[in-house]
Structure 1
């Protein structure tokens, strides 16, 4: 879609003062999908030269905001990353065309902060941490699970940029289980639950997204039974936190969340013989 109110496209490497009507441009798959009458300038991130993905000195995975879904999918996952399959599962949760895969960015999906954002699901489930940069150059870190505060809402301040998300080495070695539901074969996620089993202490973490307006994280230091998981989900997610749109009623999303949480508990705890 043509954005006929945009008067200028600026290179993000030029540190211009942020103005009203500015927006960061990554892949543009959202910006150009619908009218944006409030925008006057786009600040283009495509020439920043950030490595899409890199392994840090501690063995963590740093994912640049400009990393595309295709790059994330193709990235070779080391054999010791027990969580490796989760990357492809979340990439496939986009149910998008190859054109979207090759343009849409990891950071764009996180910053849109929609309930069905699968990169939010991936990063929140694996203890991802956002690195945010202000216009003055100050940096701060925010866990992905706390970055999104509601449907389409997050903690970004005026002119602040998501530089990258880092997933710690310990989380990459977690065994995971993935469950996703959509009302239609090629529909948006209505419920998405991910379980992760800590490789060090054996604790179970359940991360609920898509069915809720923000990521919900539940941690069980000891192996829970079915009643404990149900009680935790009931307590952690209030009735008003289940998302309501054409992709699923809150009652259905709630039902699928409870169902998937128990399925994941069985897969990671009971079937693994823990």
Structure 2
């Protein structure tokens, strides 16, 4: 095996896992490439003897896990071939760029497929005459919220709403409100999801709250709503800002482009904007009177 390919194997396996790029044979040079983001799919690649002066070939799948959806393996092969044609430059190793781009596009494809499936299910429900009316919107809430006593539809929680923040077509908006108990926080969230269809259909509604309870007790909780680790980061922001007796909901509408770690910055930026607008941030230059300054919507 050429030293350039050997060096690339070592680098790829150091970045991901020890068996990400494995040599299966030396004449011809056949390798197995496990996609890190799709651990149940591996591709079979053939490298020419003069790689990287000449591009590798993607022969097909090396293995496909039992729980992989039908057609997903073929889609991964087609996508990898498309990406390879875009990223390969004569004389330059290309496997790292291939892995990163294929993973991003597969994740985007899965999310779009999930959204399309949800849309199809909604259409099927409408055809069966099972679409709920606005009065029954609470039936679409998560199980843990359905049992709560919802606020009357005409009693809007005192939300303080941030400016919208947009990045690569993803939109982030935060809502913050004063709450006195976890039950009230959950009730506010349930009311929001039941009365605002646009929010209910968003990609994620990340929540966090910190509440002083009776007898010097304290309640802190958060929910990622599918945006992994986002809820914990939101709660950590509240801890750093020393914000109490407040809940926050950051809504994200996914724009089709992965933002990577930038999404956490935007989530926190939206939340911080709502906290500041609501007057929930303590002014260290003034004495603490234990009072909450309420902002205007």
Q: TM (normalized to structure 1)?
A: 0.28
Specify the structure having the higher radius of gyration (Cα): 2
TM-score by length of 2: 0.26
Query: Is the helix fraction higher in 1 or 2?
Result: 2
User: More relative contact order in 1 or in 2 (CA 8 Å, sep 6+)?
Assistant: 1
